[in-house]
Copies of this chain bind each other. A is one copy, B any other.
Amino acid sequence: MNIKFSKRSDTIEASEIRELLKLIGNNNIISFGGGLPSEETFPVEEMKVICNEILSDYGGKSMQYSTSEGYDKLRKIIIEIMRERGINTDIDNILIISGSQQGLDLTAKAFIDEGDTILCESPTYLSAINAFKPFYPKFEEIFIDNEGLDPEVLEEKLKKSKNVKFLYTIPDFQNPTGVTLNFERRKSIIELANKYNILIVEDSPYSELNFTGQHLPPLKSLDTEERVIYLSTFSKIVCPGFRIGWICASKEIIKKFVLFRQGSDLHTNIFSQMQITKFFEKYDVKAHIEKNIAIYKNRRDAMLNAIKADFPKEVKYTEPKGGFFLWVTLPTYMDSKELLKCALKNGIAFISGEAFFPNGGHKNTLRLNYTNISEEKIREGIKILSDVIKENMLKNN
């Protein structure tokens, strides 16, 4: 038959990243694409003990339907995590979701009417764009520097934009740039949200993976008017395969989200909620995270040192203090998609930058990931990539 999809279906396109990941498969490519944590950081042996205990302690309850709000024991653990991040909150402010990606879908459903304006960093998280687009918003992008988004530019956008629903931001070790929003700007952004009466969606998947030990307060901790919808996840501190994240927001918003998620997927896998809960109950999660930070910091160092040694001076890059990614800006006459084709021929993958801009453009940018690859391979890969860049510069200039 001739299928007639919804008009909404025209808003979404195949993710270059996922398509690329499929292509890469099990080949010998050195991949700086994707955004996978390293499997060596996952508590595999601990999970053997944990699964056995769950099934012995809870039996069929660990396999039964459960509540849309989430497993109460895990919600209480999240309250503790939030307290350590400087946010005092209550169980009714916490909704467990199937990965923090689901928080973006719920936010879109509950807030975006056609034509509403969404403010976001430029570039921003690719799958946030894909979560919001089917609900027909306009995106206003705020270019970021090494200290995150500039509140002055934000205020200009707020003055001239109509029907602004929310600012979507990743303040810590942003995806894709690795940049962190400074403290003064955090305060200013909250003041602007209050002044212009908008919500803030604070996406915080990477905040615990901090290489400096100096933690900046989340926007949510500075929020006195319940304007911040805070999203986080166990994907980067335990593992992503269980798909367990959470939302912390006002009770009124959580109630609305619960209604939408009953139509979306009823509730989050209860067995995996128990797996995460037991891991926190039985093991020293702080020590676990410290160990992971050490691995990722070494890889970040390896990548930065290789870039400093090898990249031509015309190429600019960010220096992330945590998280998963580093952002590269090539000379404007270069096209990172063309570069990617040459790089793949030489056994190197990365993500070209254009897809991270909701309104397109910026063809001369690309994202590099350093978490799922050994230091040796990072050095080897950056050397090859540098050569490919130099070759392309000559060709194009």
- Which residues on A are within 8 Å of B, measured CB to CB? 1-9, 12-15, 18, 22, 34, 36-37, 39-40, 42, 44-45, 47-48, 51-52, 55-56, 59-68, 98-99, 101-102, 104-105, 109-113, 127, 130-131, 133-135, 165, 197, 199, 225-227, 235, 238-243, 250, 252-253, 256, 259-260, 262-272, 275
Nearest B residue (CB) for A107 = B6
Q: Are A256 and B39 in contact (CB under 8 A)?
A: no
For this complex, 25 residue pairs linking A to B, each with C-beta atoms less than 8 Å apart, are A1-B225, A3-B253, A8-B110, A8-B113, A9-B110, A9-B256, A9-B260, A12-B260, A15-B259, A18-B262, A22-B67, A37-B64, A47-B51, A48-B56, A51-B55, A64-B240, A65-B235, A98-B265, A99-B265, A101-B264, A105-B265, A127-B266, A269-B269, A271-B275, A272-B272
Residue of B nearest to A102 (CB): B265
CB-based contact A266/B99 at 8 Å: yes
> Are B55 and A266 in touch, CB under 8 angstroms?
no
A101 & B265 in contact (Cβ 8 Å cutoff): yes
B60 touches A44 (CB 8 A): yes
Evaluate contact between B256 and A13: CB separation under 8 angstroms.
no
Q: How many copies, total?
A: 2
Interface pair B262/A265, CB less than 8 Å apart? no
Measured CB to CB, the closest approach of chain B to A174, in angstroms, equals 19
**Chain B hits for A6, CB < 8 A:** 109-113, 135
Would A64 and B42 count as touching, CB distance under 8 A?
yes
Are A243 and B267 interface neighbours, CB within 8 A?
yes
Evaluate whether A52 and B48 lie within 8 angstroms (CB atoms) in the complex, with A9-B110, A99-B266, A266-B127 already known: yes
Are B264 and A131 in contact (CB-based, < 8 A)? yes
Which residues from chain B contact A238 at a C-beta distance below 8 Å? Answer: 63
Does the CB pair A127–B39 fall under 8 Å? no
A250 near B3 with CB under 8 A, answer yes
* A104 closest partner in B (C-beta): B263
Contact in complex: A243, B262 (CB < 8 Å):
no
Task: For residue A201, give the distance in angstroms from its CB to the closest CB of chain B.
Answer: 13
Q: Give the residue among A130, A199, A256, A272 with the most B Cβ atoms within 10 A.
A: A272
In the complex, which residue of chain B has the Cβ closest to the Cβ of A131?
B263
For residue A127, which residues in chain B have a CB less than 8 angstroms away from its CB?
A: 262-263, 266
Q: CB-CB < 8 A to A268: which residues of B?
A: 243
Bound: A263/B52 CA distance, A: 33
Whether A197 contacts B264 in the complex (CB less than 8 A), given A64-B241, A240-B65, comes out as: no
Q: Give the complex CA separation of A95 and B135 in angstroms.
A: 23
The answer to whether A18 touches B68, judged by C-beta atoms less than 8 angstroms apart, is yes
- Docked pose: A270 CA to B68 CA in angstroms: 20
Question: How far is A74 from B270 in the complex, measured between Cα atoms in Å?
Answer: 20
In the complex, what residues of B have CB within 8 A of residue A266's CB?
A: 99, 101, 127, 243
Given A1-B227, A6-B113, A64-B241, is A264 in contact with B262 using a C-beta cutoff of 8 Å? no
Q: Which residue of B lies closest to A103 (CB)?
A: B265
B61 and A12 within 8 A (CB):
no
Given B2, B59, B226, B271, which contacts A272 in the complex, CB threshold below 8 Å?
B271
**A3-B253, A6-B112, A104-B263 known; 14 other A-B pairs, CB under 8 Å?**
A3-B250, A4-B165, A6-B113, A8-B113, A9-B256, A13-B259, A15-B262, A36-B65, A44-B62, A45-B55, A62-B241, A63-B238, A105-B265, A242-B269
